[in-house]
């Protein structure tokens, strides 16, 4: 039986990406209305799609439609006979195809504008008028495209909204996908529901059902699957889904690299095996990792060593797993999420090759396994919701991210067992206090770093000369930019006092008040 794609099971709005930094938000907004949307590069050949979209959105983009190397949509999109919405560049593309009346604007328009809807009966603008819309364009329409009429204007854009006289083909100059467009979400919903008649059935409850079936169809009745787990939300959710689909034919491996959080390996084992029924093998390779890290202080070298050693250990352990029925392991599970997929397909320019997604550390290249990625259509918040539906605890589902190289990049300088023990203990106390204060879910990521400097202190009557712990806590939506979290002074006082008193080897605690940029989240 052929394995169905999500886009052939759920009504799908196809977003063709012309390279705007906002393109992925279109997909995001539609999903918030339980409408499944998928993004593909603008160069997608329509005849190569194995499913039919309910509607197509042409995104914005940084190019000029009239430029020689400008990207253009496959004209077969018009043969689909489904509603089309062009946003910014997407609208200019529609105009270019229908009369070429596009050129440079007198000045670039960037910022808010007020939308004036001329045809209030048009389904695209249902419940929308005089709202603020967000503009970001240098080119504009110099006239109406052939066969179109104007349905909305703004002070600077006489063709702010247009529609074809006979077909449901729309163009808008503004960006409904950004939150600055106050009723932008409503407009996207109007397009998908009123015009495309897309079913609002994209829920994680429905996804579980179809995904489990999809995994079963793909893997078949006998094949075995292997995957690495880290204790983080993505690998746990992916593993639980695999277990629901194929039971013990899924083999999870947790590699203890010696730089995990305090008690992490034991905690993950308890949660995954006892709590979630996942077939898990824990491999203690901490000595191997730590011996390879001996004498290394450069952060990038630490990352490389940990990545390479991980592959080595994982492959060695995978070899040892011999399924009872003599089957070979055929698939490798990977917790790839939709933002990774989007990044790999994102259209960067007609002359540039489109990036392919690199699987973590090259495991796949070495192991000659086929890849299985059950979360590749999901955004992070969808994964969290899915996790909760699969019975994974709130605490795990909302866990802060933890970097692959772990505490090795939070022990500045050389990584030794002793240094890791200090950093771990301080981190444990810090996170415990954050949880006790009810702040964990308000903070995006928090951790302690051990600095390779010594500082003078006094304990009782004794002079001490010991190391410094730096605490970091940030708030962010995307981890590209971040602000430090404004703790109450009393909270910091309590944590500092506990760490100095309870962790041998620490004489002083500082709090990092640097944003990203210019700093990064991690210290190394
Ligand atoms: P930075 O330090 O780059 O961190 O501002 C942004 C986010 O990425 C995480 N991070 C990593 N995750 N391997 C990972 O798996 C790494 O080498 C790595 N470096 C940083 C960091 O924890 C934060 O969430």
Question: CA 362 to CA 307: how far, in whole Å?
Answer: 9
Beta bridge partners of 252: 227, 280
- C-alpha of residue 95 to centroid of ligand 1, in Å: 43
Closest C-alpha to 131, from 90, 186, 93, 94 = 186
The preferred substitution site among 412, 516, 521 for testing ligand 1, maximizing ligand atoms within 8 Å of CB, is: 521
**Closest residue to atom 8 of ligand 1, CA basis:** 403
Give the residues surrounding ligand 1 with Cβ less than 6 Å away.
Answer: 303, 401, 403-405, 445, 479, 516, 520-522
Q: Catalytic site residues?
A: 88, 175, 177
Give all domains of the chain, ordered by start, each with its CATH number: 6-195 (3.40.50.880), 204-398 (3.40.50.620), 417-511 (3.30.300.10)
The ligand 1 atom at the shortest distance from the C-alpha of residue 519 is: 5
DSSP string for residues in 207-265: HHHHHHHHHHHHHTTT-EEEEE--SSHHHHHHHHHHHHHHGGGEEEEEEE-S-SPTTHH
Angle at 129 (CA atoms; ends 127, 134), nearest 5 degrees? 110
- C-alpha of residue 513 to centroid of ligand 1, in Å: 18
H or E stretch covering 510: strand 506-511
The ligand 1 atom at the shortest distance from the C-alpha of residue 523 is: 2
Strands 329-333 and 370-372: parallel
The preferred substitution site among 360, 399, 479 for testing ligand 1, maximizing ligand atoms within 8 Å of CB, is: 479
- C-alpha of residue 311 to centroid of ligand 1, in Å: 19
Question: CA 216 to CA 372: how far, in whole Å?
Answer: 11
Whole-number Cα distances in Å, 4 to 10, 45, 199, 212, 382: 10, 20, 18, 12, 20
Segment-wise mean pLDDT, segments of 10 residues, the chain, 524 residues: 75 96 92 95 94 97 94 97 98 96 88 93 91 92 96 93 97 95 95 98 95 95 94 97 97 97 97 97 98 97 95 91 76 91 67 37 70 94 97 96 96 98 98 98 98 92 94 93 97 98 97 96 96
Consult the annotation and say whether 50 binds a ligand.
no
The preferred substitution site among 403, 481, 482, 519 for testing ligand 1, maximizing ligand atoms within 8 Å of CB, is: 403
Identify the pLDDT of residue 357: 36
**Closest residue to atom 23 of ligand 1, CA basis:** 521
Consult the annotation and say whether 15 binds a ligand.
no
- C-alpha of residue 522 to centroid of ligand 1, in Å: 6
- C-alpha of residue 471 to centroid of ligand 1, in Å: 16
Question: CA 377 to CA 369: how far, in whole Å?
Answer: 21
Consult the annotation and say whether 230 binds a ligand.
yes
What's the pTM value of the predicted model, to 2 decimals? 0.89
Closest C-alpha to 364, from 334, 323, 322 = 334
Phi, psi torsion values for 382, nearest 5 degrees: -70, -35
The preferred substitution site among 477, 522, 523, 524 for testing ligand 1, maximizing ligand atoms within 8 Å of CB, is: 522
- C-alpha of residue 481 to centroid of ligand 1, in Å: 12
The ligand 1 atom at the shortest distance from the C-alpha of residue 482 is: 5
The ligand 1 atom at the shortest distance from the C-alpha of residue 479 is: 6
Consult the annotation and say whether 404 binds a ligand.
no
Do residues 220 and 315 make contact, with C-beta atoms less than 8 angstroms apart? no
**Closest residue to atom 9 of ligand 1, CA basis:** 403
HSE-up (13 A, CA, CB side) for residue 190 = 19
**Closest residue to atom 24 of ligand 1, CA basis:** 401
Identify the pLDDT of residue 440: 98
- C-alpha of residue 405 to centroid of ligand 1, in Å: 9
The ligand 1 atom at the shortest distance from the C-alpha of residue 445 is: 24
Count of H-run helices and E-run strands, the chain: 15, 19
Consult the annotation and say whether 235 binds a ligand.
yes
Identify the pLDDT of residue 7: 86
The ligand 1 atom at the shortest distance from the C-alpha of residue 401 is: 24
Phi, psi torsion values for 288, nearest 5 degrees: -60, -45
Consult the annotation and say whether 236 binds a ligand.
yes
Consult the annotation and say whether 277 binds a ligand.
no
E strands, 349-461, in order: 370-372, 445-459
């Amino acid at each position: 039986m052929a394995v169905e794609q999500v886009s052939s099971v759920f009504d799908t709005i196809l977003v063709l990406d012309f390279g705007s930094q906002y393109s992925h938000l279109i997909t995001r907004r539609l999903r918030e209305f339980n409408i499944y949307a998928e993004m593909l590069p603008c160069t997608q050949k329509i005849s190569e799609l194995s499913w039919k979209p309910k509607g197509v959105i042409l995104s914005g983009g940084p190019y000029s439609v009239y430029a020689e190397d400008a990207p253009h949509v496959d004209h077969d999109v018009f043969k689909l006979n489904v509603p089309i919405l062009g946003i910014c560049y997407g609208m200019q593309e529609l105009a270019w195809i229908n009369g070429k009346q596009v050129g440079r604007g007198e000045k670039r328009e960037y910022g808010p504008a007020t939308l004036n809807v001329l045809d209030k009966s048009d389904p695209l603008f249902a419940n929308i008028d005089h709202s603020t819309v967000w503009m970001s364009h240098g080119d504009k329409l110099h006239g109406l495209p052939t066969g179109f009429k104007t349905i909305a204007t703004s002070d600077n854009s006489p063709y702010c909204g247009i529609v074809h006289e006979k077909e449901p083909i729309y163009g808008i100059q503004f960006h409904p996908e950004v939150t600055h467009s106050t009723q932008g979400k409503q407009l996207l919903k109007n397009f998908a529901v009123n015009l495309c008649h897309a079913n609002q059935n994209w829920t994680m409850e429905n996804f579980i059902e179809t995904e489990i079936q999809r995994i079963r169809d793909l893997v078949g009745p006998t094949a075995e699957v292997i995957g690495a787990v880290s204790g983080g939300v993505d690998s746990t959710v992916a593993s639980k889904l695999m277990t629901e689909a194929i039971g013990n034919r899924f083999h999870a491996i947790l590699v203890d690299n010696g730089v995990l959080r305090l008690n992490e390996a034991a905690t993950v084992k308890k949660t995954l095996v006892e709590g979630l029924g996942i077939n898990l093998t824990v491999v203690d390779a901490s000595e191997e990792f730590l011996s390879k890290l001996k004498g290394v202080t450069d952060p990038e070298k630490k990352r490389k060593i940990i990545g390479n050693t991980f592959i080595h250990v994982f492959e060695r352990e995978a070899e040892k797993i011999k399924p009872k029925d003599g089957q070979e392991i055929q698939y490798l599970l990977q917790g790839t999420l939709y933002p990774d997929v989007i990044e790999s397909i994102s259209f960067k320019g007609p002359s540039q090759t489109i990036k392919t997604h690199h699987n973590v550390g090259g495991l796949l290249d070495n192991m000659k396994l086929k890849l299985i990625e059950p979360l590749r259509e999901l955004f992070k918040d969808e994964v969290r919701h899915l996790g909760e539906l699969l019975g994974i605890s709130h605490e795990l589902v909302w866990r802060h991210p933890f970097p692959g190289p772990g505490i090795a990049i939070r022990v500045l300088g050389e990584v030794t067992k002793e240094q890791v023990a200090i950093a771990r203990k301080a981190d444990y106390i810090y996170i415990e206090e954050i949880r006790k204060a009810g702040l964990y879910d308000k903070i995006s990521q928090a951790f302690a770093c051990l600095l390779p400097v010594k500082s003078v202190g006094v304990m009782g009557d004794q002079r001490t000369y010991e190391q410094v712990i730096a605490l970091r806590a940030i708030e962010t939506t995307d981890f590209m930019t971040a602000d430090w979290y404004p703790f109450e002074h009393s909270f910091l006082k309590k944590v500092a006092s506990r760490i100095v008193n309870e962790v041998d080897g620490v004489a002083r605690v500082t709090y990092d008040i640097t944003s990203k940029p210019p700093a990064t989240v991690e210290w190394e």
